[in-house]
Amino acid sequence: MSRIRIARHTSLPVCLALLLALLLPALAQAHGEKQRPEKTGILLAFFGTSVPEAEAALQSLENKVKAAYPKCEVRRAYSSNIIRAKLAESGQRLDSPAKALATMMEDGVTKVAVLTTLVIPGEEYSGLARTVAAFDGMPKGFDAIALSEPLMSSPKDMPEVAAAFMKTVPAERKPTQAVVFMGHGTHHPGNIYYPGLQYYLSKLDPNTYVGTVEGTPSLDDVAAELKKHAMKSAYLIPLMAVAGDHAQNDMAGDEPDSWKSILTAQGVTCIPVLRGMAGQDPIAAIYLKRLAETLNHLEK
């Protein structure tokens, strides 16, 4: 399983390495410096949300992380510049991942596991990976830093992820009712995970569909499948960490171009579910699994 990994040792001849091991503690003591104690931190790198009621999903996941790792320093960052700017207008200050990592470094954290709640390895994930990699080898920096993989990151993980998504469907949903998961979508190659998810979901439930706002499959693709299978009722569920602006407006809004309005006009009764995936126990369990893998990787 691939990870971003910060090397803690460089390759040196054995004799030189032993000499440095003996001399460096003495030199540090001579200059009045003490060996810093090991301190492990966890950075929750959320995309973020400016919708107050949607933030509860992130808080729920944060509470689970703190409960699972009470001895770790747990901090939060929002990667979206737009969301941080919106929150700043109302007096809420959220650090970017780079600012949060720099602060953790200043505060003496020696090892950091960065947990992402991104769904696919798209452009946002690539940007976060570059930020984490930038802290590689900084003088007096972290001894180790690692970034978790996103929710959908490997073909071998997809059956587990698809099963977890299905567990977030409301229990009252009937087999004759469709389930439509709405993802963000992207032009990045990482978008391939959405049609991949469709494959695994269809094996679990043939009346389950995946669509995206900005990628493939599209709403048109979903609408065509609903018509083909004569589906007259559908649950609309955001395939996102939070039920923020996309979920509340693009998916469940009353405007004529929302998914709910378009499908309703085509004869499908829509039941929106405004709950973010980060706040759902089956999905949170996978995030915690990713975090455990990342923390273990710090020790290698």
Nearest-angstrom CA–CA distance, 194 and 210: 7
Residue pair 227/209 in contact by the 8 Å Cβ criterion: no
Compute CA distances 247 → 21, 65, 79, 242, whole Å: 55, 25, 19, 8
Residues that are catalytic: 184
Largest CA distance in the chain: 79
Bridge partner residues of 112 (DSSP): 41, 145
**CA angle at residue 109 from 108 to 112, to 5 degrees?**
160
Tokens coding 184: 């963000």
Nearest to 192 by CA among 119, 126, 280: 119
